[in-house]
């Protein structure tokens, strides 16, 4: 059995899933940062498939990069120059190759939080 990685984004200021938010996934190996994929959240604020599926899942250090500024611009959140939150990187480790890792983002224009979900 192999694990997989999922994420979702909730816009806590609007009380809605964050649809249309671009996410990039990287694997870190020493000083190297390898881009694995880009995806966009659906109407439920989730990706249509695991962001790191079972066939590519491995232990290591990863980084999800959430493009919050572009999302906030697209949702007509009052603009700032520059935005307080523009790009949000979340770096985390995967230690169990057989587990499901879920790394959600709770987002507002001036703050965010994350946790290891189920």
For 26-49, what is the mean pLDDT? 96
Model confidence band, residue 69 (pLDDT cutoffs 50, 70, 90) = very high
For 43-69, what is the mean pLDDT? 95
Q: What is the pTM of this model?
A: 0.95
CA dihedral 90, 96, 98, 99 (to 10 degrees): -50
11-15, 34-38, 49-53, 75-79 — which is least confidently predicted?
Answer: 75-79
Residue 74 DSSP symbol = H
Max Cα distance, the chain (Å):
47
Model confidence band, residue 118 (pLDDT cutoffs 50, 70, 90) = confident
Give the dihedral sign, CA 41/7/52/31.
Answer: positive
């Amino acid at each position: 059995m192999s694990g997989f990685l999922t994420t979702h984004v909730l816009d806590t200021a609007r009380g809605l899933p964050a649809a249309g938010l671009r996410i990039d996934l990287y694997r870190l190996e020493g000083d190297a940062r390898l881009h694995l994929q880009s995806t966009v959240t659906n109407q439920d604020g989730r990706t249509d498939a695991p962001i790191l599926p079972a066939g590519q899942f491995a232990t290591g250090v990863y980084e999800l990069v959430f493009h919050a500024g572009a999302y906030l611009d697209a949702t007509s959140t009052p603009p700032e120059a520059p935005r307080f939150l523009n790009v949000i990187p979340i770096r985390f480790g995967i230690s169990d190759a057989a587990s499901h890792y879920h790394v959600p983002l709770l987002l507002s224009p001036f703050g965010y939080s994350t946790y290891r979900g189920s």
